[in-house]
């Protein structure tokens, strides 16, 4: 357990820089008394599209600082709250199904692509509904794998080209993921 005043692992800017689409995070706002869980979708410039336990969906700065939250902690694959949190945590009551999670990631990526075009942030990996890193192209389509290495220089792959590196295999869900086991929650049901 962390001592009083000791920083938690993956706290603040370090956590924001390591985020992947599909991550679940806890954020703490200034002048608040509770941590808030968020599902992270795609990055739109300096903001991330997030979903709250109340099913609100919006763009939010996640980098701690003047414009962002006071603190940010990325949840590990087991979904447990980090040791050392002294405040309550407002979490999702139910986590989305695999299909809904994947649909949201794909919609968010397509929205970012429509808005930013070739300047959209392309992530080679995303988190699936069980918090496992998988190739982004498995979730959002081949357009997410837009770079291919040729020799010593990088080049853009033609539209519809196969990715340069094979995707990580997706792990089939057996309905026993950590999000289905985690019931320490206060949020609204997550079914849509």
What pLDDT is stored for residue 11 in this prediction?
52
Check residues 183 and 38 and name the one with the higher pLDDT. 38
Q: How does residue 15 score in pLDDT terms, banded at 50, 70 and 90? A: low
Q: What digits encode the pLDDT tens for the residues 165-182?
A: 334 344 444 444 444 444
Q: How does residue 36 score in pLDDT terms, banded at 50, 70 and 90? A: very high
42 has a pLDDT exceeding 70: yes
3-class secondary-structure state, position 44:
strand
Q: Per-domain residue ranges for the chain?
A: 13-96+176-181, 98-156
60 has a pLDDT exceeding 90: yes
Q: What value does the mean pLDDT take over residues 6-11?
A: 42
Check residues 40 and 152 and name the one with the higher pLDDT. 40
CATH fold, domain 13-96+176-181, is: SH3 type barrels. (2.30.30)
């Amino acid at each position: 357990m962390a001592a009083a005043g000791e920083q938690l692992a993956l706290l603040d800017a370090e956590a924001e820089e390591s985020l992947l689409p599909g991550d679940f995070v806890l954020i703490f706002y200034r002048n608040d008394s509770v941590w808030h869980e968020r599902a992270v979708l795609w990055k739109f410039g300096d903001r991330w599209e997030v979903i709250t336990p109340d099913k609100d969906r919006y763009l939010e700065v996640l980098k701690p600082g003047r414009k962002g939250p006071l603190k940010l902690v990325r949840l590990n694959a087991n979904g447990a709250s980090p040791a050392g949190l002294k405040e309550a945590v407002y979490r999702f009551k139910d986590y989305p199904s695999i299909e809904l999670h994947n649909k949201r990631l794909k919609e968010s990526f397509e929205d970012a692509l429509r808005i930013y075009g070739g300047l959209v942030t392309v992530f080679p990996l995303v988190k699936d509904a069980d918090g496992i890193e998988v190739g982004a192209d498995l979730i959002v389509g081949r357009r997410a794998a837009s770079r291919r290495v040729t020799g010593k220089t990088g080049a853009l792959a033609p539209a519809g080209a196969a990715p340069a590196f094979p995707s990580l295999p997706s792990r089939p869900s057996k309905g026993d993921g950590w999000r289905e086991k985690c019931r320490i929650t206060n949020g609204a049901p997550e079914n849509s």
